[in-house]
Amino acid sequence: MDIFVTVMLVAMLLLVVILGAAIFVQQSGSLRELKDKLQSVEDEARNRKNPDTLRRERVAVLDPLLMLETQLSSRDPLLLSEEELGLIISSRERIMTISQQLRALNDWIGPPYDLEWVEYLERLPRMKALYLSADIAQGEASPLT
């Protein structure tokens, strides 16, 4: 009888251990799925840009252009250098991309807060004149504005 009770106790203990392990495996799988879902939501939120962040980024792109305008006004050159022309072209592309992203987010406010590239270029008259003359001199058919 003692052996029977001992075997039953060991069997019940073994059953409790197996059930505990099964519950642990099931719970860890559920937690892993939950963690993956949360990670995907965080990644999606990180990829989706905040309109205020886009506007700050646009200001950071415009600052070098404003500095270039002041330099051009003080130096009064006849032509833009390759670096200056590259800065203008890259800034133009980035500003146009930011404008498209703001429209895609349905957060385009319009003037005076959100301006198009052409409107920004109008506010930089010396740079605009040199930029347009550089494009005419090169004979490119690419759109400027």
So what's the pLDDT on residue 140? 52
In a domain, 144, yes or no: no
pLDDT of residue 141: 43
Residue 73 and residue 133 in one domain: yes
How many domains, the chain?
2
Asked if 114 and 108 touch (Cβ cutoff 8 Å), the reply is yes
Residue 61 and residue 109 in one domain? yes
Asked if 82 and 65 sit in the same domain, the reply is yes
Letter string b/e over residues 31-55, b meaning 16 or more CB atoms within 10 A of that residue's CB: eeeeeeeeeeeeeeeeeeeebeebb
Burial class (CB in 10 A: 0-12, 13-18, 19+), 126: middle
**What are the tokens at 104?**
């895609």
Give the integer Cα–Cα distance in Å for 144 and 34. Answer: 49
Q: Which domain holds residue 30?
A: 1-48
Residues 14 and 69 occupy one common structural domain: no
User: Do 132 and 63 have their domain in common?
Assistant: yes
Per-residue pLDDT of the chain (145 residues; tens, 9 = 90+): 789 889 999 999 999 999 999 999 999 988 899 999 999 888 777 666 788 888 999 999 999 999 999 998 888 888 888 898 899 999 999 999 999 988 888 888 878 778 888 899 899 999 988 888 876 666 554 554 5
Residues 83 and 104 in one domain: yes
pLDDT, position 95: 93
**39: alpha, beta or left, given left = phi > 0 and alpha = psi -120 to 50?**
alpha
Q: Evaluate whether residue 16 is within a structural domain.
A: yes
Please state the φ and ψ torsions of residue 76, each to the nearest 5 degrees: 55, 60
- How many of the other CB atoms lie within 10 Å of CB of 84? 20
